[in-house]
Structure 1
Amino acid sequence: MRAIPVASVALLGVAVLSACAPAGAAGSDTFGFTVRPATVAPGGEVTLGVGRGAAGCRGRVTVTSPVFDTVTIPRHESSATARVDRDARPGAVYRVAFACKERSDTVDLTIAGGGSHRPTPEPHHSKGVHAGEGGSIAGFDLKQIGLGALLVAGSVGTAHHLSRRRSGERGA
């Protein structure tokens, strides 16, 4: 009869983990178009992706946003990188537009820091090359990771406690 409490703990763990994953996380996959990470610091780098499967885009993809220079993903590749402008407003959410022959769509990109607001569209101006910036840990939020770990640990501990209490009631 140990299978039922173990299955309950496993199911609860899966439910908690899926509840901890933010909706549209890590780039929000819309028709195979992705921006990863979905939250980046000003001056950080994002990977722009396109699905190349049966439902994805088969041709060249043009990607535009007010916070980075226009990027083209060639037909034979599935991703490219873009450097976010250093003057991107912290806390702002910008639209990243993907366009190819078969379809087009947008994905949100959040700039790390500050409150959340949607900026008014601005004309895109080339900012030039930002060389020598090195790496960054964009999108790495210790508070969110800690909260997620706390939720998982608490759920597993509660499920374990309840399953032990139930098995104790049956044995008495």
Structure 2
Amino acid sequence: MSSPTRWAGVPLADRRAERRSRLIDAAFDIFGTDGEAALSVRSVCRACDFNTRYFYESFADIGELLGATYDRTATALAETLDDRLAETGSSVHARTRAGIVTVLGFSTADPRCGRVLFTEAQANPVLIQRRSTTQELLRRATLVEALTHETDPLDGRIRAAMFTGAMTALVQQWLDGSLGDDLDAVADHAMSILTP
């Protein structure tokens, strides 16, 4: 286990921040690779070579750690999406396609990301709440995009709701392999349905 001298000379706040980050790294790897059943205080501490007291200085329980792991992964996706959309023109078609490609690509570039964000532990209350919040943020972002280009506000709200639900299902189908492995083809088919 981690020895006290390992942290000698490091300010307390920095030590705690580093340990917290390493615990999230370990949880991301364990949960993203082996699933919820493999994630425990013991498995995470073993992966970090930490005493369990270091776990409890940052997290009340494994659910709180799982929430932090989800949040960090979702933030990385949001930043990737923002960067991609910043490079994309103002065309609704181009921005929608870029969004689809970015979300699907992010979720498969590191399969652990897709597992944390979309597929693993569908009944876990922490992830249900986090995924619901993320879906609502996506709906609002889509609504802003839609209302920028739509004259009918109700039409924009309906499009945003449908797109948000469809994207979640699309990512899950993409990750389980049922849509093949051609990302561009999937994006093209999705766009033909969304914008006939």
Normalised-by-shorter TM-score class:
under 0.3
Q: What TM-score do the two structures reach when normalised by structure 1?
A: 0.24
The one of the two structures with greater contact order (alpha-carbon pairs below 8 A, sep at least 6) is 1
Q: What TM-score do the two structures reach when normalised by structure 2?
A: 0.22
Larger Rg, first or second structure (1 or 2): 1
